[in-house]
Structure 1
Amino acid sequence: MEILKVSSHSSPNSVAGAIAGVIREKKAVEVQAIGAGAANQAIKAIAIARGYLAPIGVDLICVPAFTNIVIDGEERTAIKLICEQR
């Protein structure tokens, strides 16, 4: 499954376009965010992506979970949002 990493500086519209593109092509995508700002941008992007996909009959669902990732040798906890077609 493709992973999209979102930061607090990511543009929700750009991330939404990426999400919609991957969903159209592969039917599922994982969105990762570390921190409140990044999680906020990720959620906004998913909401926008639902709007992009609805006209073509795709209902986007999202399942939230935690995951541990290593950044610069440190283990961090991230929110992982698994998005797929319903």
Structure 2
Amino acid sequence: METLKVSTRSNPNSVAGAMAGVVRSSGGVLVQVVGAGALNQAIKAIAIARGYVAAGGIDLVCVPTFAEVEIDGERRTAIRLRIQDRAIAGDATEAQMDAAAASRAV
């Protein structure tokens, strides 16, 4: 699953467009953020992306998890937001979601 890294300076409209494109093509995307400002931009982008994909019958859901990442030699706690279509989310494994997304690809 593709990972988009969002920072405090990221433009929510641009991030939303990238999210929508990846979700349409593969069924889901991971968004990684470090810090409150980056999380704020990512959440705004998710709200915007929901509007972009809704007309195509895609209902986005967001599943947050913590992750340890290394930035400039320093370990930091990141938040990863798994953004995917509710129709393929459920209790499916990542492999099942990838297969479902591949079958939807146009």
Do Structure 1 and Structure 2 share a fold, with TM-score over 0.5? yes
Separation in structure 1 between the aligned mates of residue 35 and residue 71 of structure 2, nearest angstrom: 13
State the shift of 1:74 in Å: 1.0
Amino acid at match of 2:34: I
Amino acid at match of 1:44: K
State the shift of 1:10 in Å: 0.3
Q: TM-score, normalised by structure 2?
A: 0.80
Separation in structure 2 between the aligned mates of residue 71 and residue 78 of structure 1, nearest angstrom: 10
Same amino acid, percent of matched pairs: 65
SS of aligned partner of 2:55: helix
User: What corresponds to 2:35 in structure 1?
Assistant: 35
Larger Rg belongs to: 2
2:58 pairs with 1:58: yes
Which structure has greater strand proportion?
1
For structure 2, the residue ranges without an aligned partner over 5 or more in a row are 87-106
How many correspondences in the alignment? 86
Separation in structure 2 between the aligned mates of residue 71 and residue 36 of structure 1, nearest angstrom: 16
Counterparts of 1:63-74 in structure 2, within 5 Å, are 63-74=63-74
For structure 1, the residue ranges without an aligned partner over 5 or more in a row are none
Runs of 4+ in 1 over 2 A off after TM superposition: none
Q: TM-score, normalised by structure 1?
A: 0.98
User: What corresponds to 2:6 in structure 1?
Assistant: 6
